[in-house]
């Protein structure tokens, strides 16, 4: 079965140059080797991946302390991503980058992403300079994404403040940051006010499926959460989507199925950051059909992604026609 990879990355030269200018020589725990469409396509062919939906990010997304630089960088990254899709319309999709924290700049780039370039969706990093996705400061952005029925991939970055830990933060802090996003979206009422946004939580939602029972206790324990949470927590869990990139161990997949259902799960690889994970696999490892069986595996591997990404679906249908 061919698969749609909703969580995979690319690193344009302009982006890598910006990272190095800010003293960043690695990201996500690995070094930044040169990315090319050809290398990526070779990986996809080996793993039976029909379409890779790319996003470009490192430790802080587009923002490194200078808003003007963030505006220019997001525009360059998105324009380059559009070129990749035009060159390989049935193999790649792109989630567009936004130059937050400026809401005005982000709204202008949303217009460019959809109306100028026709990209497939948006990606947001979990926090920008300590402001989390779901914060009221970005309310106009949520309203616009809701109006466009946008599909939005949320990817973790390092929290603004972390203790001095004896391991790299991507190992644990990234998944905790994704969890913080989900909680912020719920308890700030964003999921209720803007139901038109298709949120995809990276890496199986961080720890969200696992602590779903704990989250459900909040309204019973504290009155303020009863006022905010208009629906049972189980409904909030099923109002977003979860990719299985670096979250496809059987215990993790089974927990997701129990907590949110296979219809809310999507295939992802996190390649090239996960290159070593896919380097010497066991036969069938990472295959949603092996993990879930033919029917559920087909939904996770392809069908749900095509529903959330109509641009990708149209390009594939046009190619078949």
pLDDT digits (tens, 9 = 90+) for 53-82: 999 976 678 999 999 999 999 999 999 999
Lowest mean pLDDT among 38-47, 165-174, 242-251, 288-297: 165-174
The whole-number average pLDDT for the span 166-172 is 60
Percent of all residues in the chain with a pLDDT value above 70, rounded to a whole number = 88
Per-residue model confidence (pLDDT) at position 170: 60
Banded pLDDT at 28 (limits 50, 70, 90): low
The Cα–Cα gap between 256 and 254 comes to 5
The Cα–Cα gap between 187 and 202 comes to 19
Banded pLDDT at 166 (limits 50, 70, 90): low
Banded pLDDT at 285 (limits 50, 70, 90): confident
The Cα–Cα gap between 78 and 95 comes to 8
pLDDT score of 307 more than 70:
yes
| Model pTM score | 0.93
Spell out a b/e string for 182-198, using b for 16 or more CB atoms within 10 Å of the CB, else e. bbbbbbbebbeebeebb
The Cα–Cα gap between 144 and 124 comes to 14
Segment holding 104, helix H or strand E: helix 103-111
pLDDT score of 320 more than 60:
no
Which residue did the predictor score with more confidence, 316 or 28?
Answer: 316
Give the length of the chain. Answer: 321
The whole-number average pLDDT for the span 311-321 is 83
pLDDT digits (tens, 9 = 90+) for 82-118: 999 999 999 999 999 999 999 999 999 999 999 999 9
Which residue did the predictor score with more confidence, 298 or 158?
Answer: 298
Lowest mean pLDDT among 18-27, 125-134, 266-275: 18-27
Per-residue model confidence (pLDDT) at position 219: 73
Number of H helices, E strands in the chain: 15, 12
Question: What does R_g of the chain's alpha carbons equal in angstroms?
Answer: 19
Comparing C-alpha atoms, which of 207, 201, 309 is closest to residue 265? 201
Per-residue model confidence (pLDDT) at position 312: 97
Per-residue model confidence (pLDDT) at position 157: 83
Per-residue model confidence (pLDDT) at position 34: 75
């Amino acid at each position: 079965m061919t698969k749609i990879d909703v969580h995979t990355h690319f690193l344009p030269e302009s982006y890598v140059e910006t990272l190095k200018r800010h003293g960043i020589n690695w990201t996500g725990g690995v070094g930044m080797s040169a990315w090319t469409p050809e290398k990526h396509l070779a990986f996809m062919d080996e793993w039976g991946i029909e379409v890779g939906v790319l996003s470009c990010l490192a430790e802080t997304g587009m923002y490194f302390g200078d808003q003007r630089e963030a505006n220019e960088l997001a525009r360059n990254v998105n324009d380059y991503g559009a070129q990749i899709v035009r060159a390989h319309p049935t193999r790649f999709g792109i989630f567009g980058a936004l130059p937050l924290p400026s809401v005005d700049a982000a709204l202008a780039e949303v217009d460019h992403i959809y109306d100028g370039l026709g990209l497939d969706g948006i990606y947001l990093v979990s926090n920008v300079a300590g402001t989390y996705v779901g914060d009221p400061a970005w309310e106009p952005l949520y309203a616009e994404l809701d109006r466009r029925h946008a599909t939005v991939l949320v990817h973790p970055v390092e929290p603004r403040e972390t203790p001095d830990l004896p391991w790299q933060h991507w190992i644990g802090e990234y998944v905790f940051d994704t969890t913080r996003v989900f909680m912020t979206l719920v308890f700030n009422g964003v999921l209720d006010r803007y139901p038109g946004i298709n949120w995809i939580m990276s890496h199986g939602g961080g720890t969200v499926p696992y602590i779903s029972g704990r989250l459900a206790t909040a309204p019973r324990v504290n009155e303020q959460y009863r006022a905010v949470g208009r629906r049972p927590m189980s409904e909030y869990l099923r109002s977003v989507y979860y990719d299985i990139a670096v979250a496809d161990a059987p215990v993790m997949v089974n927990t997701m199925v129990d907590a949110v259902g296979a219809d809310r799960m999507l295939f992802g690889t996190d390649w090239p950051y996960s290159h070593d994970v896919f380097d010497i696999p066991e036969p069938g490892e990472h295959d949603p059909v092996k993990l879930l069986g033919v029917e559920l595996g087909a939904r996770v591997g392809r069908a749900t992604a095509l529903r959330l990404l109509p641009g990708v679906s149209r390009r594939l249908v046009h190619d078949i026609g």
